[in-house]
Amino acid sequence: MNKSSIVIVAALALAVGFALSWFVASNKPVALESGTWFGDQARALPEFELLDHNKQPLTRASLEGKWNLIFFGYTHCPDICPASLQTLSEMMGSIEDPDVTGALRVYFVSVDPERDRPEVLSEYVRYFDPAFIGATAEMDRLKPLTRSLGIAHQIRNRVEGNPVYDVDHSSAIVLVNPQAEFAGLFGAPQDAMAMARDMTRIVEYN
């Protein structure tokens, strides 16, 4: 093999390598104005099984095929959770392109499974947007998912028999791509219009 053919083979290998890394990396780089994007180095979610507000299983496979925005909270939270869900509802309402809204799904995952039964979740999420999906699971089923997304939560001041207690939780909105990989984060306080522009950019660009 002469010197020039070695150069050609090396160049080809390099090109294939780049093409492969482009293909393996789930999404293209996108600059966001209100969130943090790591879709080009997206991380697969672990397997999980929650129960949605219609008492149907919600698994990793359920997230495939759409861009998913997931907020973790609890219904007995009157201040920050309604504000975030309202923002998500306004975000959906302000996106004019039906191809973009059709590619998005919004989830509210309760980290207070004891009080947030499916009936409560159903009434709660539909109050903000009939298309929103509420879900939860017992703590041991919930933890692997929240841990993999860096969402911290804990129940505090719990006294046996007393229905009043506190739930602390991260307030970021998690972005999961159509391959069910963790692709981005929108930290609180979220801005509906900025998120609408960011999600439009993500869906149109990828």
Out of 51, 92, 120, 180, the only residue in the binding site for another protein (CB under 8 A) is 120
Q: At its nearest, how many Å lie between another protein and the CB of residue 77?
A: 8
Residue 156 touching another protein (CB under 8 A) = yes
Integer-rounded Cα Rg, in Å, for the chain is 20
Number of Cβ within 10 Å of residue 127's Cβ equals 14
Residue 152 touching another protein (CB under 8 A) = yes
Nearer to another protein, 26 or 171 (CB): 171
Question: Cα(181)–Cα(160) distance, rounded to whole angstroms?
Answer: 38
Out of 60, 82, 94, 114, the only residue in the binding site for another protein (CB under 8 A) is 82
Question: Cα(116)–Cα(81) distance, rounded to whole angstroms?
Answer: 13
Cβ burial, residue 202 (10 Å; 0-12/13-18/19+):
buried
# residues near another protein by CB under 8 A: 26
Does residue 189 have a cis peptide bond before it, meaning omega lies within 30 degrees of 0? Answer: yes
Residue 165 touching another protein (CB under 8 A) = no
In angstroms, how far is the first alpha carbon of the chain from the final one? 41
Residues 6+ apart with CB under 8 A from 149: 45, 70, 174, 182
Residue 83 touching another protein (CB under 8 A) = yes
Nearer to another protein, 60 or 126 (CB): 126
Which residue shows structure tokens 């703590």?
139
User: Interface with another protein by CB under 8 A: which range of 34-42, 49-57, 75-83, 100-108?
Assistant: 75-83
Residue 26 touching another protein (CB under 8 A) = no
Give contact residues for another protein (rule: CB under 8 A).
75-80, 82-83, 119-120, 123-124, 126-127, 152-154, 156, 164, 166, 168-171, 188-189
